[in-house]
């Protein structure tokens, strides 16, 4: 249904060194590099020495069970969180070490689609998409109008420009948020659970948009999701996060054939396996008061 | 031992929260936006925080002034001093009730709304999305609200005092028959601009700043859930009220405690 785009080399967890293809001038270095990233919340280690390369100009899917830190990974890449140790390099800049001003300048190269859409509720669809243009550019009003309408046309919502966010469906909200996130023509776009809670038509529209935007704008796309089928149908490269580690990575075909039981349990949605059905608990006999009872 | 540990943890939490709010304030005040960007945002907030609070301030001021007129007349007439009702009402309002009641009303009406609005923006990831667009929410969202509160409260307090005095005049002069010349004349001779009016303005500036700081910080720092917003809104009203009353005592002691 969604033909997979072939031709992407697998990026190892620690990337090989070549940066440019000789003679072509094409940059093949990873757009994002994570090295030995450790991040903890209280006593719980969300990431325990994660290293990962995200290829330039491709769609990378980061998958994993709920609560494994997929969204946290996006926030680390965007500099909203700082790792306890390790380096995170985006477009050649070490994000955790950036000063505030440099970090905000780097973010102008990023777009992010939040799970909720995160539209400004007091602004219309048009004004939401125009917001980054008004803040970061000094373009004349007629040019802002043209750009906003083009972005809305790209997501099929040019006709909805006068609506307020409260008047939009869930799928439309995400499409408007997508239009807003590409308003400044970013180099990187991050999608946080783009398919969660969407009906099949909205999901199909979002899949098409993510794929088309990536190919037409040459974006580097990072997609966090636990929708296996949809993610593998459009990504060039995928990695699966669990227990603070990357437990599997590769092209969609390699992921599907991955030998790890935990990866296979996640891909096929088996209720029991390396990730147990039961949350760790005391001995059941103790809870029901039948252990050691003498008659 | 557990109680001691809990007490210690509470103390550490309070200190950590104070530290966070201090850093937050430094972040808000440290950033300077372009006037062409900041001024329209400030005007919008002045309208929603200040102008929309006028109704409650005017109505409250009127009734409090009328009550002061009635109570003052009842008490002062026992001593044959009902002519002093004007100065009593003016001094009470300008020195104390104007700044204090305005700040309390502001915390309940605008402060809680600020907290809920910012908390909801946080919960719906609007602040995060702003950050990811390269826009600092401290400058774009918080700073205009903080400055608007800082500017609005002294003006609202002045309106409160003026309307209160007028309400007291309605009761004292128009209803109870106090001589109008004594009412205004005693007021004019006993109210000092520097000692009374200016000190009242200083109080309302301090209260406005503290109430708005508490409101925006509670919204920004809230747990991003519906229960978190509810708790933050409650905290805004409670902390602001306590801060206003506590600071009022301190400021009064400093300003008028020269015994």
**What pLDDT shows up at residue A292?**
57
- Per-residue pLDDT, averaged over A159-167, amounts to 93
Question: What was the ipTM of the complex prediction?
Answer: 0.76
**Chain B residues near residue A177 by CB distance under 8 angstroms:** 129
Which of the two residues, A263 and A106, has the higher pLDDT score?
Answer: A106
Residues in A closer than 8 angstroms to B124, CB to CB, are 116, 118, 121
**How high is the pLDDT of residue A257?**
84
CB contact burial A67-84 (16+ within 10 A = b; e otherwise)? ebbbbbbbbbbbbbbebe
Question: Confidence class of residue A22 from pLDDT cuts 50, 70 and 90?
Answer: very low
Predicted confidence band of residue A267 (pLDDT cuts 50, 70, 90):
confident
Residues of A within 8 A of B128 (CB-CB) are 75, 80, 114, 118
Q: Does A121 touch chain B (CB under 8 A)?
A: yes
Interface of A with B in 8-37 (CB under 8 A): none
Mean pLDDT value across residues B137-144: 91
State chain A's mean pLDDT as an integer. 83
B135 with A135: Cβ contact below 8 A:
yes
Predicted pLDDT of residue A23: 43
Interface test with A, best of B122, B132, B140 (most A CBs within 10 A): B132
The residue-averaged pLDDT of A168-191 equals 90
Per-residue model confidence (pLDDT) at position A291:
64
For A:198-217, CB contacts with B below 8 A are none
pLDDT band at A16 (very low <50, low <70, confident <90, very high): very low
| Average pLDDT for chain B | 92
H or E stretch at A148: helix A141-154
Q: Percent of chain B at pLDDT above 70?
A: 99
DSSP state letter for A3: P
pLDDT for A294 beyond 50: no
Query: Residue A252 — pLDDT band, cuts 50, 70, 90?
Result: confident
Query: Is the Cβ of B132 closer than 8 Å to some Cβ of chain A?
Result: yes
Question: Angle B199-221/B2-30 helices, nearest 10 degrees?
Answer: 110
Q: Give the residue among A1, A36, A29 at the shortest CA–CA distance from A15.
A: A29
In this predicted structure, what is the pLDDT of residue A28?
Answer: 67
Residue-wise pLDDT for A78-132, tens only, equals 999 999 999 999 988 999 999 988 998 899 889 899 888 889 998 999 999 999 9
Question: What average pLDDT does range B26-38 have in this prediction?
Answer: 80
Check whether B35 has a pLDDT greater than 70.
yes
Our CA-based measurement puts residue B196 at a distance from the nearest CA of chain A, in whole angstroms, of 42
């Amino acid at each position: 249904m969604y033909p997979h785009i072939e031709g992407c080399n697998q990026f190892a967890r620690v990337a090989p060194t070549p940066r440019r293809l000789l003679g072509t001038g094409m940059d093949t270095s990873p757009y994002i590099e994570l090295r030995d990233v450790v991040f903890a919340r209280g006593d719980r280690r969300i990431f325990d020495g994660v290293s990962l390369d995200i290829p330039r100009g491709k769609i990378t899917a980061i998958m994993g069970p709920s609560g494994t830190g997929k969204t946290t990974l996006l926030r680390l890449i965007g500099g909203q969180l700082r790792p306890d140790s390790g380096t995170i390099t985006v477009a050649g800049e070490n994000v955790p070490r950036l000063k505030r001003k440099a970090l905000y300048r780097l973010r102008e190269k990023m777009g992010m689609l939040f799970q909720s859409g995160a539209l400004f509720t007091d602004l219309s669809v048009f004004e939401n998409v125009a917001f980054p243009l008004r803040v970061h550019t000094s373009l004349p009003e007629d040019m802002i109008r043209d750009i906003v309408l083009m972005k809305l046309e790209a997501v099929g919502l040019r006709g909805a420009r006068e609506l307020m966010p409260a008047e939009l469906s869930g799928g439309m909200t995400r499409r408007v948020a997508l239009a807003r996130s590409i308003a400044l023509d970013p180099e990187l776009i991050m999608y946080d659970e783009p398919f969660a809670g969407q009906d099949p038509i909205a999901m199909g529209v979002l899949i098409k948009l993510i794929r088309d935007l990536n190919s037409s704008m040459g974006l580097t796309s990072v997609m966090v999701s636990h929708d296996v089928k949809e993610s593998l149908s459009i990504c060039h490269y995928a990695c699966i996060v669990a227990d603070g580690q990357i437990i599997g990575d590769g092209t969609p075909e390699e992921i599907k054939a991955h030998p790890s039981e935990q990866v296979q349990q996640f891909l096929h949605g088996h209720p029991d396996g390396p990730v147990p059905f039961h949350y760790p608990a005391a001995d059941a006999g103790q809870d029901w008061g039948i252990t050691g009872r003498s008659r | 031992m557990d109680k001691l540990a809990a007490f210690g943890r509470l103390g550490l939490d309070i200190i950590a929260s104070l530290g966070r709010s201090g850093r937050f304030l430094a972040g808000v005040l440290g950033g300077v936006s372009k006037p062409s960007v900041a001024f329209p945002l400030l005007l919008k907030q002045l309208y929603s925080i200040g102008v929309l609070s006028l109704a409650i301030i005017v109505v409250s001021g009127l009734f409090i002034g009328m009550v002061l007129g009635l109570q003052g007349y009842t008490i002062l007439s026992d001593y044959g001093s009902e002519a002093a009702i004007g100065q009593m009402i003016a001094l009470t309002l300008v020195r104390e009730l104007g700044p204090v009641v305005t700040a309390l009303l502001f915390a309940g009406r605008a402060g809680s709304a600020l907290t809920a609005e910012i908390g909801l923006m946080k919960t719906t990831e609007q602040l995060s999305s702003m950050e990811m667009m390269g826009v600092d929410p401290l400058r774009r969202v918080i700073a205009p609200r903080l400055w608007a509160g800082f500017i609005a409260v002294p003006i609202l307090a002045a309106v409160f005092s003026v309307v209160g005095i007028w309400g007291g005049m309605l009761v004292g002069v128009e209803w109870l028959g106090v001589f109008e010349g004594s009412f205004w004349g005693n007021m004019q001779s006993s109210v000092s601009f520097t000692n009374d009016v200016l000190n009242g303005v200083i109080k309302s500036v301090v209260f406005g700043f503290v109430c708005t700081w508490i409101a925006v910080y509670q919204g920004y720092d809230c747990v991003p859930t519906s229960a978190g917003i509810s708790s933050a809104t409650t905290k805004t009203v409670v902390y602001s009220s306590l801060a206003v009353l506590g600071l009022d005592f301190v400021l009064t002691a400093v300003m008028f405690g020269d015994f």
